[in-house]
Structure 1
Amino acid sequence: MHAYGQFAMPTRLPETLEPLRELAQNLRWSWHPDTRAVFELADAALWEQTGHNPLLFLSQLSSARKAALSTNRRFLARMRAARKDLQAYLARPAAENTPAVAYFSPEFGITETLPLYSGGLGILAGDHLKTASDMRLPLIGVGLLYRSGYFTQSFTPDGWQCEQYPTLVPEDAGFFELASAHIHLALPGGADLYARVWVAQVGRVPLLLLDSGDDRNEEAERNLTNQLYGGDTLTRLRQELLLGIGGVRAVRAYCDAEGLAEPVVYHTNEGHAGFLGLERIAELTDEGLGFSEALAAVRAGTVFTTHTPVPAGIDRFDRGLVGGHLSVALPKLPTEACLDLGAEDDPGVFNMAHMGLRLAQRCNGVSKLHGALSRSMFAPLWPGLEAEEVPIRHVTNGVHGPSWAPHAPDLGLPDEEVMSARKALREKLIEAVRGRMRSAQTDSEFAAETAWVEDCLDPDVLTIGFARRVPTYKRLTLMLSDPARLRRLLLDPDRPVQLIVAGKAHPADDGGKRLIQEFIHFASDPALRRRVVFVPDYDMALGREMVGGCDVWLNTPTRPLEACGTSGMKSALNGGLNLSIGDGWWAECFAPEYGWSIPSGHDGVGGLSRDEQEAAALYDLLETKVVPLFYDDHPQWLRKIRAVLGTLRPQVLSDRMLTDYLSSLYRPAAQSAAEISASNFSPARELAEWTARTRDEWPSVVPGALEVNADPETGCVSFRAEVDCGGLTPDDIEVELFVGTAQGDTLVDPIFTPMMSGGGGTAWETYEAVVDVPRGGHFGYTARVIPKHPHLAPHELGLVHEFQPSEHTSQRPLKE
């Protein structure tokens, strides 16, 4: 029946139970077991029926049950203790020496009850906020409110993915509206975009969510933020303009309302929010700075994190389309200068990642391998530098322990109890999978036969898990490359294996959907159903059960396309072992005691494709290493579990990740921002003028002679260089010396030494350095000139002059 209209009825609670509302409205409940236990104690059956959603739980709690709880002294004591704990948690002061940070992301995975995430990027952002809260960092999250969120997944009878979109009502989710925020963006053609701002409290951290569901908007604008990663190119661009420009305005409004100082560091989590830098530039130009001066100031306090391992993953828009929007959204800024920030090889394209890199003085990838890949991929933006010198570092992702390993085995337990704890997690996973499969029968191709669900999977069998988004590069079906060989592993009568798989393909990704369909067809074989399942509607709740209960976590991306891949980290937190291609985080953290690394193949070797080689290596590891160890050598399996829990776990926790961000990015950015804004931004004005002059005069800088004098008795080598500074001064440049083992014309592991100015008195300035060479051998050296300024990060401008071998270059011993 069609509803004529709608109305809302607030949940009413007796005064004695009002603390439940306070506990439900702070999302700390999602990772705080004592708070969750209070709701379970109130009504365990209803807690399960409402999907562990406390606000929905309270709205459905019966009057009779409320009355009973109001006089239950045991329950009231537990509730009040949880409330007191929350209040104490929130009252603790911010940690010392921690700058205020605004953290922008297009998605946030806080809890499965809020479908504001699609995959790893959002889960990481959620873990970032939760960890900042636990570590007492003064951080504000900024994102978009998607009223239809991300989809729930079902399947046609032939295994084709279907999408249904939920409805998110912010008031029902416990968000409150920031009434003082008046967000408006002008759009081309005289249209307007208005946005409401909702605040979700994530422990100590406020998460500001911009919502285009404003009655002042026309229908197209009102639906702008309906879906995460939905709509066409225009929708995506306008979402990103709202996130970046509107997000900065929302931060200002929130800080004004709460009496807080504005953040000093702005962190852009991927390029989607890159327009935030332009809004901050516009704010400074209103205070009297020129565009280049404001750009220098904004760069100093901006951090940009790239998660993209391939150029195809970057958001790229038509340059004219972007220009048309910026000219009306930020009319006081020079549109062409803004567009130049997103320039790339194609002159008709605006590149969001390039803008993010040009607007941030500090940039990072999300694993060691991804950092190196990013330096290579973005090297053209710094044409004077070698790829390894491109100023993009890495901070390897981490995961939030309380969210992903609430029941992990305690390392201090006796051996038999550790193994019992692991089996209990496996049993818990199997029950969760069976429950999901029961509820999904009407949408699956198994609807005609349901009895198999009740005894699918076995808590005594080696359990391997694979769960993630399903783009083609993650190679869901690599494990199906030799179906007969896999069947033998699954159905071995003495040492069987069972496989639990889940994942979602993007609604527009038919390639990913075909991979899922292929796997479902394999799993539908009646002979295999009790050993292999594809679990529908992958979400955080299912992910938590899987990383907890699987003995081995399988990851088979095409190297090096996995930027980090945190699902394996979550498994490790619970004592799971990883079986993975050496990509992402596993490339830097792998050790034999933590699991197994699948060797990478190369097309054509042995007449096999890369996929065939890596699939064969996977089967070999399962047959000769993993399965025998699990069934035949329990002490060695236990030693691996203890190694993972004892030494790998600290490496993959998000506490380590946030500590790295603080030390290498946030604190340096805050210091740079403070320095460049001093004295009414006088340093920013000076830096902008200096940068323009240096770029203009750089062609006039000429490296000259480079002399080396080696003393074989002391092992000391003296270097002397001459530089014609042209239109610059000696203070404007630095001469870098590199000395290393020579292999042909290549320097191996060169050691960097800055050369000190020795004065000149002529057109040539001299620079000198002494290097101690403690061993014999054949060595090479080189030197180069780069710009130097106290407010520049190393190699920030990408300007370089190399010393070239010529008649000026000489070599002679120091002693005749």
Structure 2
Amino acid sequence: MKAIRRFTVRPVLPEPLGRLSELARNLRWSWHPRTRDLFKSVDPRQWEASGCDPVRLLGQVPPARLDELARDEDFLRRLGEAADDLRAYVEGERWYQEQGGGEGPLPRAVAYFSPEFGITAALPQYSGGLGILAGDHLKAASDLGVPLIGVGLLYRHGYFRQSLSHDAWQQEHYPVLDPNELPLVLLREADGTPAIVALALPGGRSLRAHVWQAQVGRVPLLLLDSDVEENDPGERDVTDRLYGGGSEHRLLQEMLLGIGGVRAVRAYCRLTGHPEPEVFHTNEGHAGFLGLERIHELAQHGVGFDAALESVRAGTVFTTHTPVPAGIDRFDRELVAHHFGPGAELPRIDAGDVLRLGMETYPGGEPNLFNMAVMGLRLGSRANGVSTLHGSVSREMFAGLWPGFDAQEVPIASITNGVHAPTWVAPEVFRLGARQIGERRTEDALSVGGSDRWDAVADIQDADIWELRRTLREQLVEEVRRRLYDSWRQRGAATAELGWIDGVLDPGVLTVGFARRVPSYKRLTLMLRDRDRLMELLRHPERPVQIVVAGKAHPADDGGKRLIQELVRFTDDPRVRRHIVFLPDYGMAMAQKLYPGCDVWLNNPLRPLEACGTSGMKAALNGCLNLSVLDGWWDEWFEPDFGWAIPTADGAATDDDRRDDLEAAALYDLLERRIAPRFYEQGPGGLPDRWIEMVRRTLTRLGPKVLAGRMVREYVEQLYAPAARAHRALDATAAGELAAWKARVRAAWPRVAVDHVEASASDATAELGTTLSLRVRVHLGDLTPDDVEVQVVAGRVDPEDHLADPSPMPLKPVSGPDVEGRRVYEGPLALDRTGPFGYTVRILPAHRLLAGGAAELGLVAVPSEATGEEAGVLMR
């Protein structure tokens, strides 16, 4: 019999236990060991049954147990200490406040928008790396005291739960989530009614949303929920599933996230007194419409579109996570136009202006598609990729937006991702660190960083490190057997035929982990290229290897599902099923057991398609060594002292099959000849000394680098603070001035030209230490020298005479205009390096308020072909 209505009955805590509710509602418990230990002690059995979720736990504990705890003086003391510690954490000064946060150059607040947030398994609002990164960003901001407001959507079905059919085909399940059973509170108006965010839809309809708030330490996370009774059925389902539905469904989700998200932030600040954000950070293109809402806000106060655009751009940061165009949301232009303008959303903005921000109006683009990443880049004055290599890939991918500039000058920087160590470090690792340097210093090392604290790992005894690794491996083996048993039961197996699972994996065997989403470029099945050789590795009599694999394919990706099916069918083979396993339903709860328990973390994507790949960072923080293609963060920080690089078979002459064969063979070679021998090799004391030293170097050298605290500090210093300064500089008057100047420059630019270039010496007399005197004649048309910068760009050249490492230097105006309107610029060019050397000259727009640098307008004038022969003299 099915209930006709569902609601949540909340427990009534005895008065002495009232602060338990305060602790349960702040998600800091998800990364604070003492608070988690406190909740576990309430009822260890119910704690495990609740999925380690304090809100569910308190709803399941019998009243008699609560009454007993209310009289337990030791428990009440621990409860008071935990609650006082949380209050000090939330209210005390931290790193940001020590830097003068909220005053001077640092923003008073930052709004951080993302389509998904992975905070804890108890709040399942994530699908993969993007959401986990967003969750870690919020947690690290909280630890550092950065005044961040997170903004996302509340998906009533979350992302899917995964199981396998009897024939190993992925099955998706969408459990219904009740916000009242989650660690959330409803944002309410002063009179107690729910705060409502509303969007206008074509045809006079409305899309309404409630705003739920999760408290992530010091950081509020606002989640918009369209499951509101006043909505029509179609609008109620807008926030039904993460990454579900067709194009219009996705468009409405992204309009609600961006436009509705800004309105939710305004409501939150109005109701709570939180400072209004000066900087808006768009984590991937899904939230890009936030910039349009902020332009519309200014339009309501009489600011013109162009001036409003400049003001909004100044305070906007955009982060791209995708290395391939296929990973970007794109919509038909007519669909977007239908939802904007009179009778729909943002009526004070012309739909044509909306479209121009997102259309792919560049060589190679699709002229009828509206690209969310393109809009994000056009609406943000500062943009970044998520690793050094990914920054380079992004500059190449989006170079069409800045015609005339080499890819290396495209204004997309990079900040390499980090991970929130207190979330991902196993309790046993934390306790070992606490024994070495103390609990508080260990907490600081994991959240704030500091190489001096991590250097203390060097003093930990080899035996203690090896015992830690064995303990974590044993825990993983137990977890794998439990999950594997549940999976086989779901696939239809009888209990009587599952006795073999008790012998799956061995706590003493080298354990390799591989877990991630399953698009084709991550190559889940690369390890299967030579199955006989893989079997030999798994069943080696002296140096066996065992492998744990997990991952989800997108529900619409049948190709990814086939890869999972192929791998699972191999793992079902009785000859290897005790040595290699696939675990369905990969998520945060599984990951927190998997990363620490593995000895080696495998990553074998197609280079350079892995934007960052943070799973290897989480593994490294637990002493797991990385084995990876040089992609993402590993390309940047790999050292042979603490891991292995899988060679890649790059080159146009190598087809896909040949490439995979070569790289799989390299993977097998590394495992067989270098990794397994190193793991099983014992030193004089009976321990694998050289392996332990690699673990130690992983922790001391990589530990401080891979922290989300390091990442967020870099965002503050390199992006948030400059964006706040630019936002403050562009008041309505200055924004209008900049917009008018840009319009004037664009109109005049066709008449800007480099007319003639001459130098005081030729390649015959070019010697190291020589200084050339350059004289350049230019046409500026209707512009003046104050509107431009004339530069000489010099550096090494490749065999095709392209500048490989260009360095720009400004030239100075010395005369003009003459009767033909020409001006002369001069300046020195020092020949400060030997070898192939060259230079050219160019003219760029220049204005004191340009936030994106010389390339911002995408305008450049260079010598004509004839002039270029004079300007590009080579010196050797």
TM-score by length of 1: 0.97
Contact 1:709–1:812 (Cα < 8 Å) also in 2: no
Q: Name 2:359's counterpart in structure 1.
A: 343
Alignment-derived partner of residue 734 in structure 2: 683
Q: Does 1:797 align with 2:857?
A: yes
Whole-angstrom distance in 1 between the partners of 2:867 and 2:507: 77
**Partner residue of 2:59?**
59
SS at match of 1:208: strand
Inter-CA distance 778–356: structure 2 relative to 1 (3 Å threshold): closer
Task: Determine the structure 1 residue equivalent to 2:699.
Answer: 645
Name the SS for the 2:542 alignment partner. coil
Partners of 1:323 and 1:384 in 2: CA distance: 30
Whether 1:107 aligns to 2:146 is no
- After superposition, residues 133-532 of structure 1 pair within 5 angstroms as 133-180=142-189, 181-327=195-341, 328-344=344-360, 345-407=365-427, 408=429, 410=433, 411=457, 412-444=459-491, 446-447=493-494, 449-532=497-580
Mark the CA change 1:808 to 1:608 in structure 2 (over 3 Å): closer, same or farther: closer
Deviates more, 1:803-812 or 1:138-147: 803-812
Once the two structures are superposed, residues 222-269 of structure 1 have per-residue CA deviations (whole angstroms, 9 ceiling, x without a partner) of 111011111111111100000000000000000111113310110000
SS at match of 1:317: strand
2:749 aligned residue: 698
Q: Which amino acid aligns with 2:136?
A: D
CA contact (8 A) 2:110 2:280 kept: yes
What is the CA distance between 1:162 and its match in structure 2?
0.8
Map Cα deviations across residues 693-730 of structure 1 (whole Å, 9 max, x no partner): 00000011121222222586962222222222111010
* Contact kept in structure 1, 2:774 and 2:827, CA below 8 Å: yes
SS at structure 1 position matched to 2:179: coil
Change (3 A) 1:432 1:652: same
- CA shift, 1:748, in A, is 3.5
Change (3 A) 1:463 1:233: same
Supply the distance in 2 between the matched residues of 1:11 and 1:302 (Cα, whole angstroms).
43
Q: Could you tell me which amino acid in structure 2 is paired with residue 799 of structure 1? A: L
Q: What CA distance in whole angstroms lies between the structure 2 residues aligned with 1:414 and 1:373? A: 42
Closer, same or farther in 2 for the Cα pair 1:650/1:168, shift >3 Å?
Answer: same
- State the distance in 2 between where 1:627 and 1:809 align: 59
CA–CA distance in structure 2, aligned partners of residues 210 and 46 of structure 1: 31
Question: How far is 1:806 from its partner?
Answer: 3.9
Compared CA separation, residues 700 and 460, structure 1 to 2 (3 A): same
CA distance in 2 between counterparts of 1:639 and 1:171 reads 49
The answer to whether the Cα contact below 8 Å between 1:707 and 1:809 also exists between their aligned partners in 2 is no
Matched residue, 2:708? 654
Distance 2:872 2:417 in 1: 50
Partner secondary structure for residue 650 of structure 1:
coil
1:421 is displaced (CA, Å) by: 0.9
- 1:743 Cα deviation after fit: 4.3
Q: Secondary structure at the match of 2:180?
A: coil
Distance 1:608 1:62 in 2: 60
Asked if 1:587 corresponds to 2:635, the answer is: yes
Distance 2:227 2:309 in 1: 33
CA contact (8 A) 1:101 1:139 kept: yes
> Quick one: structure 1 residues 22 and 435, their matched pair in 2 at CA, closer, same or farther if it must change by over 3 Å?
same
| 1:63–1:714 CA distance, 2 compared to 1 (3 A) | closer
Q: How far apart are 1:60 and its partner, in Å?
A: 0.3
Give the superposition deviation at 1:438: 2.8
Aligned counterpart, 2:827: 769
Alpha-carbon shift at residue 147 of structure 1 (Å): 1.0
Question: Is the partner of 1:141 in helix, strand or coil?
Answer: strand
Kindly indicate whether residue 778 of structure 2 is the aligned counterpart of residue 758 of structure 1: no
Q: For residues 392-429 of structure 1, what are the alpha-carbon distances to aligned partners after superposition, in whole Å with 9 as ceiling and x for unaligned?
A: 11111110000011433541321110111111111111
User: 2:91 corresponds to which letter in structure 1?
Assistant: A
Q: How far apart are residue 192 of structure 1 and its match?
A: 1.2
Structure 1 match to 2:76: 76
Cα shift at 1:742: 4.0
**Residue of 670, 677, 687 corresponding to 1:621:** 670
Secondary structure, counterpart of 2:253 in structure 1: helix
- The answer to whether the 8 A contact 1:33-1:406 is kept is no
1:674 to 714, 717, 728: 728
Following the alignment from structure 1 to structure 2, what is the Cα–Cα distance between the partners of residues 165 and 741?
57
Q: After TM superposition, which residue ranges in structure 1, 4 or more long, deviate above 3 angstroms?
A: 445-448, 602-608, 710-714, 741-744, 774-778, 804-813
Task: Report if the CA contact (8 A) 1:705-1:809 is conserved.
Answer: no
**SS in structure 2 of the partner of residue 548 of structure 1:** helix
| In 2: Cα distance, 1:23 partner to 1:778 partner | 65
Query: Hey, what does 1:552 align to over in structure 2?
Result: 600
Q: 1:326 to 1:523 in 2, by over 3 A?
A: same
The change in CA–CA distance for 1:191 and 1:524 in structure 2 (over 3 A counts) is same
Q: Does structure 1 conserve the Cα–Cα contact (< 8 Å) formed by 2:521 and 2:609?
A: yes
Which letter does structure 2 place at the counterpart of 1:535?
L
Note closer, same or farther for the CA distance 1:808–1:442 as it changes in structure 2 (3 Å cut): closer
Q: Encode CA deviations 1:447-470: one digit per residue, 9 max, x unaligned.
A: 462112222111110000001111
* Residue 294 of structure 1: how far off its partner (Å): 0.4
Amino acid at match of 2:533: R
2:793 paired residue number:
738
Aligned partner of 1:720 in structure 2 is: 775
- Gap change, CA 1:777 and 1:428, over 3 Å in 2: closer
CA contact (8 A) 1:270 1:305 kept: yes
CA deviation after TM superposition for structure 1 residue 124, in Å: 0.2
CA distance in 2, matches of 1:5, 1:110: 29
1:565-584 equivalences under 5 Å are 565-584=613-632
**Whole-angstrom CA distance in 2 between matches of 1:413 and 1:714:** 53
Whether the 8 Å contact between 1:293 and 1:685 is mirrored in structure 2 is yes
Q: Secondary structure at the match of 1:578?
A: strand
2: CA distance, partners of 1:39 / 1:807: 75
Write the letter of the residue equivalent to 2:141.
A
Partner of 2:452: none
Deviation of the 1:807 alpha carbon: 6.7
Deviation at 1:432, TM superposition (A): 1.6
Q: How many residues align?
A: 810
**How much has 1:3 moved relative to structure 2?**
1.1
Identity within the alignment, %: 53
Q: Which amino acid in the other structure matches residue 460 of structure 2?
A: L
Classify 1:445/1:756 alpha carbon distance in 2 versus 1 (closer, same or farther; 3 Å).
Answer: farther
Q: Is the 2:426–2:592 Cα contact (8 Å) retained in structure 1?
A: no
Q: Which runs of 5+ in 1 are unaligned?
A: none
CA distance in 2, matches of 1:573, 1:587: 18
Separation in structure 2 between the aligned mates of residue 812 and residue 65 of structure 1, nearest angstrom: 83
CA deviation digits over 1:732-779, x for unaligned, max 9?
001121222344423342332122333435333232222333455553
Which residue type is aligned with residue 223 of structure 2? L
Q: Indicate if the aligned counterparts of 1:718 and 1:768 stay in contact, CA closer than 8 A.
A: yes
Question: Contact between 1:158 and 1:445, CA under 8 Å: does it hold in 2?
Answer: no
Report the Cα offset of residue 440 of structure 1: 2.8
Task: Give the secondary-structure state (helix, strand or coil) at the position aligned to 2:261.
Answer: helix
Which one of the candidate residues 518, 527, 538 is aligned to 2:586? 538
The CA deviation string for residues 24-55 of structure 1, in whole angstroms up to 9 with x for no partner, is 00000000101000011111111111110000
Structure 1 residues 537 and 447: alpha-carbon distance in aligned structure 2, compared to 1, 3 A threshold: farther
